[in-house]
Structure formats: C-alpha cells, structure tokens
A and B are shown apart, each in its own frame.
Chain A
Amino acid sequence: MTTPAIKFDLKATLKNFSNVGTIFRKELRSYFNSPVAYVVIIVFLGFIEWFYASDMFKVNLATMRDMFTLVPWIFVFVVPAITMRLIAEERKAGTIELLTTRPLNDAEIVLGKFLAAWALICISLLPTLVHYITIAFLGDIDHGPVIGGYLGLMLMAGVFVAVGLFASSLTENQIVAMIIGLVLMFALMILDKILIYVPEFMNTIVEFIGVDFHFSNIARGVIDSRDIIYFASILGFMLYLSTLSLGRRKW
C-alpha cells in the first residue's frame, strides 16, 4: 500500500514552483529573524579574516588558493549548525504535522528548505569577494581558479547543506542532527586523504566519493563534467533521501 504523502512528483513540483518559493522565503526570513544568520556570517568571516586575510600580504602571491583550502573546513563546522533545525525543529514543535497536511509534496518542502540554507551560505560568502577585488587591484590574479574556486565552494556548500538537511530529517533532536551532519561532512572531507588506510583496489572509488578531491579539481580552474556530475548526483541523492525520510510517518 502506498503512503499518500510520499509520492515524488517531479513534474508537479516544477510546474508549481510557488510552494518551493513560499517555503524558501519563510525559512530564509526565519534565519534573519533570529541570531542564526548573523552568528553564521560573523563566525564565517571571522575565521577567514583570522586565518587567511591576516597572512594574505605575507604570502605575497596574487592568488586566493589558501582561502579555498580553508573555507571547506569552515563549512564542516558551520553548515551543520545552519541545517540542524530545518526539519528536526518542525518535528519537535509538531509543526511538521501542519506542514505535511498542506496541499504540497514532500519534495517541495525539502527543496524549499534546502534552497534557503544554501542561499544563506552563499550570502555569507559574498563579503569575501572583497579579497578578490583587493588582490585583483594589487597584482595580476589568474581569474580562472578564483571563478572555479567560488563555483566549487557553492557546489560544495550545496552538497553539505543537502547532507545536513538529511541529518536533520532523521531526528527531532537538533543536537543529534548537528552531530550526524558534522560527522558525515567530515567524512566526506577526509576520504581522499586517508587513501593509504584503504585497500588499494578501492582507492579510486574512495577518492571519487570524497568531496574535497572534486572541489580541488574545480578550484584549479578546471571544470570537468565528472566533478559536476559528482556534485549533482550526491546533492540529488541526499535530497531524495531527505524526502523519503520526511515522508516516513513516525507512528
């Protein structure tokens, strides 16, 4: 017997994008109505200024590579804090019952929430463009890796937000959601760095699953379809899992 709510209807979702937009606006507004958005932006920029910008002139190179190796690690800690509330909070407060009895698909709910959290991360990336402009004025910067770097960061943020959203859909406890999200993101980050501990025949697979491997490809300024496919498929898979997990009715 099918569950009435689980049906994933991509066509209807795309046709009626206004539901996604409504949820997106509500979620984004609730980030900015609470301290969450501001804390995230301040922490994010604080880390970048402290670890990257303070050394920027010492390094004396017209490149932003150091920032692009730093930011993914900040993501690992910041993204779970942003995504933990997305579904867990609704489960805890019981508002999930209202949300899922409105005439909309679970996929629309997931998509709207995903886009809101993703947008928040992208917004907090915006101020770092200051460094790009500064360096471009001072030296002869290679634009390819910078554009690739930002694109890579956005894709990576998308994957992390999807992972965090999935973690949030698993539980009604935000702390648990945050820890699950953090562990998953951390694992994705270190997979391509622990290859020596992995049997040799699995090396390519493990490396391919690791998110940092694909990110560094893109951040070099090489946009390869394999990396794009990787990001798109992990992202889609995580959103799909979140939709299923949201559709599971607890009792």
Chain B
Amino acid sequence: MAIAVRNLTKYYGQEKAIDDISFDVKTGEILGFLGPNGAGKTTTMKIITCYMPPSSGTVDVEGYDIFDHALDVRRKIGYLPELNPLYLDMNVIEYLDYSARLHGMKNAGIKGRMREMIDACGLSEVRHKDIGELSKGYRQRVGLAQAMIHDPDVLILDEPTSGLDPNQIVEIRNLIKKLGRAKTVILSTHILSEVQATCDRVIIINDGKIVADGTPEQLKQDFRGTETISVELKTKSANVMTEVFPKLKDLSQVESVEYRGQEGDAHRFTVHTAKGSDPREQLFRQAVSEGWVLLEMSRKSTSLEEVFHKLTTADPAKP
C-alpha cells in the first residue's frame, strides 16, 4: 500500500474541513480526487504532504508516518500545490536545480536528471527564461517538472490543469499519464472528463466526507437506472399536454416525463426511465399505435458528471 489514510479529521477553528476520511492508494495507481470547491480535497492533500497536521487521524506514505517521519514522507512525495506557486524571478534551470538540491540530490545526479525532466516536460526552448515570463501552460509544466525532479514514488497534484486552455489541458494530462507511469498519483480536480481520461480510480468527496469510491465505470454502473431519453415527435393533436403527455407518462417503464417545448408540429420530451429499464420499445409502440411520428429518440447514458451532481447536491441542508 503506497498511501494509507486513516480517520483523518481537520478542523479550521470550529469548521470541520474533513470528517473522518479513510482510504488506501495502491502502488502505481492513479487516483482522482473529485469534489466541489471547498469539499476538503486540498486539505487532505496538504496533510498528506506534511504541510499541516490533521486534527486527528494519521497518514502513512510508503511505510512512513507523517508525524514520526515527516522528512522521509516528504522525500517520497513530489507535490504540485494548488495554483502552482513559483519563484517568478528565477529561470527554469535555476529553479529546477534549487528544487533538486532541496531534495538532497547531489551534483552528479542533478545535471542528467534536469535534462531528462526538461525534455520530458518540453521545456527546452524556455529553459533560460525567467518563470515570470512564461505562459500559464509552461508554468504548469515547470510545476510538474519540479514535482518530479527527484523521481518520487508518490505524486500529489492539486488541480494540475486548472486555468489552462483546452489544448494545454490535453497536453498536461498526457504528460501526467506519461510521467505517472509506475508511480502512485493522487490528483484532484473538478473536471470530470479529466478523471475519466486519466484515472484508474475515483474518490468523490463532499462536505469533508467520502461519498463514492471506485473505478469510473463502477461508479457509472452504480448510478445506472437514472437514464434519460430524449424524444421528439410530431402529432396532430391540438392539446399535447392532455392528449400526449399522460400517455407517455403511463408507460410502465417510464418514471416521469418533462415537456421541453415545441417547434411547429414537433414536440420535445425528456423521459426519465424507471430504474434498470429501457422503455424505448414501449415508446416506439405507443407512438405507432397513437399515430405519432417519431422524429428522434436518443438515450443519454449516465455520465460521471451526473453521478457527481447527484452525490454532491443530495445534501438537503444545501439549496
């Protein structure tokens, strides 16, 4: 087990930021940490990296406890904090050299390793530039390069793609995949497609608690049954709400129907299916027997987006 988080709780004053969180991360796993802002992702990461102590509970990284062997834990971890803080007045090479030395690397190893990281992160064109002059995408690469410079076993990346444009996001994502091979990675994000694209496993955290844990596929499976079907049909009936709407709603495999409006003769509905069923056949037969013309019928499978939305807004205390 690369990382073992045990009963972690953290208070900021009176406020509980995380509440009795426990999970394990296996060696070589890429774990996505998902949750709305303020859910406790960053707090958890700051505790794992020994930036601040938890109120109670503990974390074990590669066999070292964060309280008893903080320095060993830090040696094992490469960390990219939220917002990627950097020294803007240093150039890329100076900064990587500084990071390597603070990780206890010796002269002999630094040069070669730096060349490797600069190549891997595509920094060779800007290596003599001040970090303050670099674009956001390049800065993010510098952030990743400094996190990886000492070849750590564990990578902790706090929102590594936030604030980047879509092309840069894809680049950084590929970089993480490439560099994260054979490493244990925890990355936090609130972009769901990112988790689907990069992670082996997802933990969804809300209000300081873990609300789901599994592979992206598992999570989608678990929350199946809440699928929606979008239907567009043409009918001659004058009053859709009384003549068509109830007939759709009464189908045995349909949970509920929403009316979405009309365009000329065509009317749109969103049909929510009953758990675990597929009412498309029923819909088709109903349409045929009523003489409606089906223009469109498409099923939207549950996306992680919806799982996330369900899990993180279910709390009745929140509007």
Residues on A lying within 8 angstroms of B by beta carbon are 1-5, 7, 16, 18-19, 22-23, 26, 29-30, 33-34, 93-105, 249, 251
Of the residues B53, B70, B103, contact of A1 by C-beta under 8 Å:
B53
Partner-contacting stretch, out of B28-36, B76-84, B198-206, B226-234: B76-84
Q: B86–A101 contact, CB under 8 A?
A: no
Most buried by A among B66, B71, B86, B89: B71
Residue of A nearest to B84 (CB): A94
Q: With A18-B101, A22-B101, A101-B51 in contact, is A30–B85 under 8 Å at CB? A: no
Most buried by B among A4, A7, A93: A4
Chain A residue numbers with a CB within 8 Å of B87 are 30, 93, 95
Residue of B nearest to A248 (CB): B52
A26 to B102, CA, bound (A): 11
B145 CB → nearest A CB, Å: 13
A16 to B79, CA, bound (A): 23
Chain B residue numbers with a CB within 8 Å of A95 are 85-87
Of the residues A23, A33, A94, A102, contact of B85 by C-beta under 8 Å:
A94
Given A4-B66, A30-B87, A251-B52, 19 more pairs with CB closer than 8 A: A4-B70, A5-B51, A18-B104, A19-B104, A26-B90, A29-B94, A33-B90, A93-B87, A97-B46, A98-B146, A101-B74, A101-B77, A102-B74, A102-B99, A102-B103, A103-B71, A103-B72, A103-B103, A103-B104
Residue of B nearest to A89 (CB): B87
Chain A residue numbers with a CB within 8 Å of B94 are 29
Q: Decide yes or no whether B49 CB sits under 8 A from chain A.
A: yes
Residue of A nearest to B95 (CB): A26
A93 to B82, CA, bound (A): 12
A19 to B75, CA, bound (A): 14
A94 to B51, CA, bound (A): 12
Q: With A103-B74, A103-B103 in contact, is A98–B83 under 8 Å at CB? A: no
Residue of B nearest to A2 (CB): B67
Q: Decide yes or no whether B98 CB sits under 8 A from chain A.
A: yes
Most buried by B among A33, A96, A98, A99: A98
8 A Cβ contacts from B10-61 to A:
12, 46, 49-53, 56
- Name 10 interchain pairs, CB-CB below 8 A, sorted by A: A4-B66, A4-B70, A19-B104, A30-B89, A30-B90, A97-B85, A98-B99, A102-B103, A103-B72, A249-B53
Of the residues B50, B81, B83, contact of A5 by C-beta under 8 Å:
B50
Q: B51–A100 contact, CB under 8 A?
A: yes
A193 CB → nearest B CB, Å: 40
Minimum-distance CB pairs A-B, first 4: A94-B85, A4-B70, A249-B52, A102-B102
Chain B residue numbers with a CB within 8 Å of A16 are 104
Q: With A4-B67, A101-B51 in contact, is A34–B102 under 8 Å at CB? A: no
A34 to B132, CA, bound (A): 13
Chain B residue numbers with a CB within 8 Å of A30 are 87, 89-90
A26 to B100, CA, bound (A): 13
Chain B residue numbers with a CB within 8 Å of A100 are 51
Chain A residue numbers with a CB within 8 Å of B75 are 103
Chain B residue numbers with a CB within 8 Å of A104 are 71, 102
A5 to B108, CA, bound (A): 29
A120 CB → nearest B CB, Å: 16
A97 to B89, CA, bound (A): 17
Chain B residue numbers with a CB within 8 Å of A105 are 71
Q: A101–B85 contact, CB under 8 A?
A: no
Q: B81–A94 contact, CB under 8 A?
A: yes
Of the residues A7, A23, A34, A97, contact of B51 by C-beta under 8 Å:
A97
A29 to B83, CA, bound (A): 25
Residue of B nearest to A4 (CB): B70
Complex interface bits, B88-118 against A, C-beta within 8 A gives 1, otherwise 0: 1110001000110111100000000000000
B37 CB → nearest A CB, Å: 15
A16 to B52, CA, bound (A): 24
A101 to B103, CA, bound (A): 10
B102 CB → nearest A CB, Å: 4
A213 to B258, CA, bound (A): 86
Residue of A nearest to B78 (CB): A101
Residue of A nearest to B55 (CB): A1
A94 to B146, CA, bound (A): 15
Q: B98–A22 contact, CB under 8 A?
A: yes
A249 to B130, CA, bound (A): 29
Complex interface bits, B267-311 against A, C-beta within 8 A gives 1, otherwise 0: 000000000000000000000000000000000000000000000
Q: A34–B89 contact, CB under 8 A?
A: yes
A103 to B12, CA, bound (A): 25
